[in-house]
Structure 1
Amino acid sequence: MNSFELQEDPKVQKTQDTEILCDNEEKQDYVTQLEASLTEEGVRKELEILKQESLKLTGFSFRTHTLFKKGGRHMTLILGIFASIGGFIFGMDQGVISGALLFMPKDLSLTSGEESMVTGFMPLGAVLGATIAYPLNEWLGRKISIIIACLFYSVGGILQADAHNFGMILSGRIILGVGLGLECTACPVYISESCTKRWRGGLVSLYQFMICFGLFCAYIVAAIFVNIPGNWRYMLGSTLVFSSILLIAMCTMPETPRWLMRKGREAQSYKVWSIVRGFDTAEERNEFYIMRKTVEKELSDSKDRWVIMDLVRVHRCRHAAIFGAIIAILEQFSGINSINYYMSTLMHEVGFTRVHAVYSSMIGSGTLLLFTIPAIYLMDRMGRRALWLSLLPGVVVGCFIIGFSFRASNIHIEEGIYIWGIITYYMFWGSGMGPYTWVIGSEIFPTYIRSEGMALVTWWTYIGNFLTTYLFTRMKTAMTGPGIFIGFYGGFVVVAWFYGLLMMPETKDKTLEEIDSLFSMSMFALAKHNWNNVKKTTDDLFHFRLKEVWKVE
C-alpha cells in the first residue's frame, strides 16, 4: 500500500459530535451489508429481469453502440475521449484570448479596465453557468447539459469573432463563460459515472489533459493567424469548429447509467451499462447491483426534503463540499489561469516582441501538455494524494523562479529565467494540481447530490478564476512581479500542500459508493489518520524505503 494512502479503519470511529448523522451511518452499514450479502445467483436473477425489460424498450438507442456492440473498454474510452473534447474547448478559449489580447484592445479601442473585463468576465459567466448546471444536470441529465453548453459555446464564439465594440466582445465572453461553467460541471461527472473505478481517475484526468492540449493548440492557432489582418477574430472564432464536433458527438452518446437509475429508468440504465461497461465479470455485475440498491435507498431517504440543503445539513455531504471547494480555490490561487490568460502579455513585458511572444507561448503550453500525461497513468496507480504531495513543492519552485525573473538586470537574462520558471511551474503543476478539481469533484459526492456538489465545485473554481484574472494587472502593479508570484501564488501552493497532507483522503481504486465511508468520517478523524501516515512516510524516507513511499500498483 502506498505510504501516502489513507489506511481505513474497518470500524469507523464514532464521535459524540452530531455532525455524523444517523442516516450516514445507516447508509454506510447498508452498503456494507449489501456487499456481505451478495450472492451470484441473486445478482444474476435481478439482472436477468432487467435484461428482459430492456429488450422491450422501443425508441431507445444511440448510434455509437453499433460500432462497439461488445461494450467494455473500447466503448468506455470512446465515451471518455468524446466527453473530454469539452476540456479541449476550455483550453482553446484560455489560450486564444492570450494571443488576441495583443491585438484586440487596439482594434476595438479598449481601455485597460475594459481589457480586464473582457478577460475576467468569462469566468464570471462560468459562475452563472455552474449555477444553472445544477437544475439542468438534475432534470435533463448530463448528456443534454453538455449539448446545451455547446450551443452557448457557438453563440459566444460567433459574437466574439464578429465583435465591433466593447459591448459585443464582452457579451460574447460572458455567453461563452456560461457554456464553459455548464460544460465543466457536466463533463467530468459524465465520465466519472460511466467508467469503472480502475479508470475513473485516469479518464477524468484525460479531461485535464484535453484542457492542456486545447491550450497548446490555441497558441498554434494564434501563431497561424498572427500575421493576418483581423487575426484576433480568427483566433477567437476557431473554437466554433470544436464545439460543433462535441455537439455532434454527444448526440450519439448515451446518458449515464447512474442518472438513468436515479430517474427510475432501470431498464435503460441496464441497457447503457451493458454497452458501456458490460456484465462479463462478477465485479461489474456486483457493482451495478450495489449501485441500483444504493440509488434506491438514496431516493427513499431524500424523497421528502430539499436535497441541496444536505450540502450544509448532512456531515458526509458537507465534508465533501468543504473539501471540494477548498481544493478548487487553492488550485485557482496557485496562479495557473493568470499565467494562461496573460501568457503572451507577460512574454511581451519581459522583452519579447508581440509576434515572438505568441510563438514563445507554445513552449509553456507544450510543457503543460507533456507533463499532464503522467497524471492519466499515475492517478489510478499511485493515487491522488501521493501525486499531490510529491509534486506541489515543484510548483512552489516554479513560482519562485518566475518571480525572480522580474529582478534580472539584463533583458536577455530576464527572458531566459522567465521561460525557465514557466517550464518548471508547468512541469509540476500539470500532474501535481491540474486534474484534481475535476477528478475530486466528480467522485466525492453521493449519486443523489452529485449534480449539486459538482456545480458547487465548479462555482468556486470560477470564482477563483475570476478573481485571479480580473484583478491580475492591479495585483501585479501593487505587489510587483516577485510579490504576486512568490508571495501570493507561491504562498497559496504551500497552504495547498499542508491542506492535502492533513485533509486529503485517498480515493483511488474505490467505487463511487465506497467513497462514502471516507467522507462519513469526521474531519478530525481523517486528519488523525493522515498524520499517522505522515509519520510512517517520514520513517520510510529516512530509511530509504522509497518503493513504500511511491508505490505504483
Structure 2
Amino acid sequence: MKKKVSPTLIYFFGSFGGFMFGYDIGIINGALPGIKTTWSVNPWLEGLITSGLFVGAMLGASLMASLADRFGRRRMIMWSAVVFAIGALGSGISSNTSFLVIARIILGVAVGGASALVPMYMGEISPAETRGKLSGLNQLMITVGMLSAYGVNYAFVHVFQGWRWMLGGAVVPAIVLLFGAFLLPESPRFLVRIGKKELARQVLQSLRSSEEAESEYQAIINAQHSDAGSFKDLFSKMALPSVIAGCGLTLLQQIQGANTIFYYSSQILAKVFGSEIGGVVSTVGIGVVFVLATIVTLLIVDKFKRRTLFMSGSIGMGISLLLVGLIYPSAQANYAWATWTVFFLICLYVIFYAYSWAAVTWIVVGELFPSHIRGLATGIASTVNWFGNILVALFFPVLLETVGLSIIFFGFAAICVIGFLFAKYLLYETKGKSLEEIEMYLYDRSIGSVVGLMK
C-alpha cells in the first residue's frame, strides 16, 4: 500500500455492499403495487418477480465468493458493483414482465455476491476483539439500505410508473461502491495465501497499531495456509462442522418470518390499516425501528456470546409471531386496539430479529470457516440463504391467498423454536476468538483432541 487510507473509510466502503443488498430487499416492497398497476400480475407472477432477485443471488453468492479465493475479495466486490448497476438499470427500463424478471436475476447475481463477499472481507480485516461490531456494519448498511428504499418508495408512490424510479435508483449506490472499492486494501489473509506477505503486513499496519499489526501478522504466517480448497474439502472432518453451522444459520435466518415482513409489509399493513398509503407509511416506521435496533446491536454485540444472542432472539421472535397470528383476525375486523397491537408486535419482532439473526448471522458466517475454504464455504452458506429467500418470496403471496396470514405466522413461530435448538446444540461459539484460533479448534476437533462445542 503506497498511500495510507483512513480505517474508517475502509470499514465504511468494505461494508457498503450491504447497502445495495438492503436497498433491493426493501425496494420491491413498494414497487410491487405499481408493477401490478402497469401490467396484469397474478400471485404466482408477483412471487416470481420478487424471487427472481434471489435466483440470481444463489448463483452470485456461490460464483463470486468462490472466485474471491482465486482473484481476491476486493476485485470481486468491484465486479459486484458493476453487475449491480447493469441489473438496476435493466429493472428500471423493463418493457414487460419477462424483461423485468431477467433484469432482477442479473441484479441478484450482484446482490448475492455482495452478501457473501462483504462478511468474508469484513471478518478478515477486523480485529478479533471488535470483529462483531465492525463486521456488524454490514447489517447496519443493510438496514440503512432498506430504510432508504422505504423512503424512496414513499417519495414515488404517487408518481406515474414510479416503480421504475424505485428500481432504477439502485444504480446510485452501485456507482458509490465501485469508486469506493478503489480505496479498499486487499484482505491480509488472502495476500499471505498468495505469497504477498509484505503487502499483507502493510495492510495490517494501516488498520492496527504497530504492535497489534505485527502480532496478528505473525499469527497469520504461523497458521497453515494452503491453496484454495475444492468442493470435496467442504466434507472433510475439519470443515464439515463449520459448513453445517454456516448453512444452518443462513437458512434459518430467512425462514423465521423476517422476509415476509420486509418484502410484503406494505401489503400486510395495508390490510391492517385499511389503505395502501397506510401500509407504506407504517413500513417506513418499521424500517426506522430496524435501523435503530441495529445501531444498538453494534454497541453491545461484542459484550454477549453469539449463541446467547441467537437463542434469546428466537424466543422473542417466536412469541411475537405467535401473538400476531392470534390477534390479526381482530385487526382485520377493524378493532383499533388490534390494529395497533399487530403493528407494535411486528416492530417488537424486528427488534428481536435485529440484534440476533439479522446482525449476528453475517458476523458469524465471516468467522466460522477455515481459511482454505472460506470463500467457497461462505458462498455455499450464502447460496443456502438465498434459497430460503426464494421459498419465502415465491410462496408467500400464494399462501396468503390460500391459508391466511395467521396460519403463516404460526408456522414461522414454530420455525423459531428450531432456530433456538440449532443455536443451543449445533453452533460453536466464536466471540473473542481470532480466525486462527477458530481454525485450530476445528482442526483439534477433527483429530479428536477436543469434543463438543467451543464455548
**TM, length-normalised to structure 1:** 0.78
Q: CA deviation at 1:526?
A: 8.4
Picking from 142, 146, 154, the partner of 2:73 is 142
Letter in 2 for 1:288: Y
Equivalences for 1:405-416 in 2 at 5 Å?
405-408=327-330, 410-413=333-336, 414-416=338-340
Query: Contact between 2:66 and 2:379, CA under 8 Å: does it hold in 1?
Result: no
Cα deviation, residue 478, structure 1: 3.9
Structure 1 residue 466: deviation in Å? 0.6
Tell me, yes or no, if structure 1 residue 344 matches structure 2 residue 266.
yes
Contact 1:373 1:431 survives alignment (8 Å): no
State the match for 1:393 in structure 2: 315
- Could you say which residue in structure 2 is the equivalent of 1:493? 416
Shift of 1:179: 0.3
Which whole-Å CA distance do the structure 1 matches of 2:318 and 2:66 have between them? Answer: 38
In structure 2, C-alpha distance between the alignment counterparts of 1:525 and 1:357, rounded to whole Å: 55
Q: Which runs of 5+ in 1 are unaligned?
A: 1-59, 69-74, 534-553
1:430 aligns with 2:361: no
**How far does residue 207 in structure 1 lie from its aligned partner after superposition?**
0.6
Is the 1:108–1:164 Cα contact (8 Å) retained in structure 2? no
Q: 1:443, CA displacement in angstroms? A: 0.9
Say if 1:401 and 1:420, in contact at 8 Å, map to a contact too: no
Q: Establish whether residue 95 from structure 1 lines up as the match of residue 23 from structure 2.
A: no
Q: Within the alignment, does 1:326 sit opposite 2:253 as a pair?
A: no
Report the equivalent of 1:475: 399
Contact 2:55–2:390, Cα closer than 8 Å, also in 1: yes
- Following TM superposition, the consecutive aligned residue runs of length 4 or more in structure 1 with deviations greater than 4 angstroms are 522-530
**Quick check: 1:212–1:365 contact (8 Å CA) kept in 2?**
yes
Q: For residue 231 of structure 2, what is the amino acid of its counterpart? A: I
Aligned partners of 2:124 and 2:189 also within 8 Å: yes
Q: By how many angstroms is 1:476 displaced?
A: 2.9
- The secondary structure found in structure 1 opposite 2:390 is helix
Among 210, 213, 217, the alignment partner of 2:144 is 213
> Which residue pairs with 2:436 in the alignment?
513
Structure 1 residues 194-209: aligned runs within 5 Å? 194-209=125-140
Seen in structure 2, the aligned counterparts of structure 1 residues 525 and 157 have a Cα distance that, compared at 3 Å, is: same
> 1:361, 1:529 → 2: CA distance?
40
Aligned pair partner of 1:364 in 286, 305, 314: 286
Residue by residue over 1:451-471, the C-alpha shift from the partner in whole angstroms, topping out at 9 and shown as x without a partner, is: 011101101100001111111
Change over 3 Å in CA distance of 1:153–1:378 after alignment to 2: same
The aligned counterpart of 1:263 is 194
Q: Does 1:165 align with 2:88?
A: no
Change (3 A) 1:112 1:480: closer
1:271 partner amino acid: Q
Paired with 1:412 and 1:260, the residues of 2 have a C-alpha distance of 61
SS at match of 1:246: helix
Does 2:221 align with 1:298?
no
1:464 aligned to 366, 385, 388, which one? Answer: 388
Cα offset for 1:194?
A: 0.9
**Once structures 1 and 2 are overlaid, which stretch shifts more, 381-390 or 175-184?**
381-390
Residues in 2 aligned to 1:440 and 1:526: alpha-carbon distance in whole angstroms? 21
**Residue identity in the other structure for 2:257:** G
1:421 to 334, 339, 345: 345
Q: Distance in 2 between matches of 1:207 and 1:276?
A: 18
Residue type matched to 1:424 in 2? L
- 1:416 CA drift (Å): 1.7
> Could you report, residue by residue, the CA deviation over 1:263-322 in whole angstroms, capped at 9, with x for unpaired residues?
1111221222222224x22x432221120121xx332xx69xx6331111x212101001
Instruction: State the distance in 1 between where 2:193 and 2:440 align.
Output: 21
- 1:8-87 to 2 correspondences below 5 Å: 61=2, 65=4, 67-68=5-6, 75=7, 77-87=8-18
Task: Tell me the equivalent position of 1:233.
Answer: 164
Aligned: 1:448 with 2:376: no
Confirm or deny: 8 A CA contact 2:10 2:183 kept in the other structure. Answer: no
The alpha-carbon deviation at position 181 of structure 1 amounts to: 0.8
Which of 426, 430, 443 is the equivalent residue of 1:503?
A: 426
Say whether 1:183 aligns with 2:183: no
- Cα distance in 2 between the residues matched to 1:231 and 1:496: 38
Rounded Cα–Cα distance in structure 2 between residues aligned with 1:96 and 1:341:
8
Question: In the alignment, residue 323 of structure 1 is paired with which amino acid?
Answer: A
Q: How far apart, in 2, do the equivalents of 1:456 and 1:311 lie?
A: 10
Distance 1:107 1:420, change over 3 A: same
Question: How much has 1:529 moved relative to structure 2?
Answer: 5.8
Q: Which of 115, 120, 123 is equivalent to 1:192?
A: 123
Task: Return closer, same or farther for 1:525/1:221 CA change in 2, 3 Å cut-off.
Answer: farther
User: What amino acid maps onto 1:493 in structure 2?
Assistant: C
1:523, distance to aligned residue in structure 2 (A): 12
8 Å contact kept, 1:205–1:435? yes
In structure 2, the CA distance between the partners of 1:227 and 1:474, relative to structure 1 (3 Å rule), is: closer
Residue pair 1:379, 1:508 contacting (<8 A) in 2 also: no
The answer for the alignment partner of 2:43 in structure 1 is 112
Matched residue, 2:298: 376
> Could you say which residue in structure 2 is the equivalent of 1:309?
232
| 1:515–1:221 Cα change, 3 Å | same
What is the CA–CA distance in structure 1 between the aligned matches of 2:288 and 2:72, rounded to whole Å? 35
- In structure 2, the CA distance between the partners of 1:527 and 1:356, relative to structure 1 (3 Å rule), is farther
- Could you say if the C-alpha distance between residues 180 and 500 of structure 1 is closer, same or farther in structure 2, counting changes exceeding 3 Å? same
Larger radius of gyration: 1
* 5+ long unaligned stretches in structure 2: none
Identity of aligned residues (%): 27
RMSD: 2.1
C-alpha change, 1:145 and 1:528, in structure 2 (3 Å) is: closer
Report the TM-score when normalising by structure 2. 0.94
Partner Cα distance (1:348, 1:464) in 2: 25
- Looking at structure 2, the residues matched to 461 and 112 of structure 1 have their Cα atoms a distance apart, in angstroms, of 23
Which amino acid letter does the alignment assign opposite residue 75 of structure 2? Answer: I
Counterpart position of 1:253: 184
Cα pair distance change 1:351/1:101, threshold 3 Å: same
Q: Alpha-carbon deviations, 1:239-262, whole Å to 9, x = none?
A: 111111111000121111111111
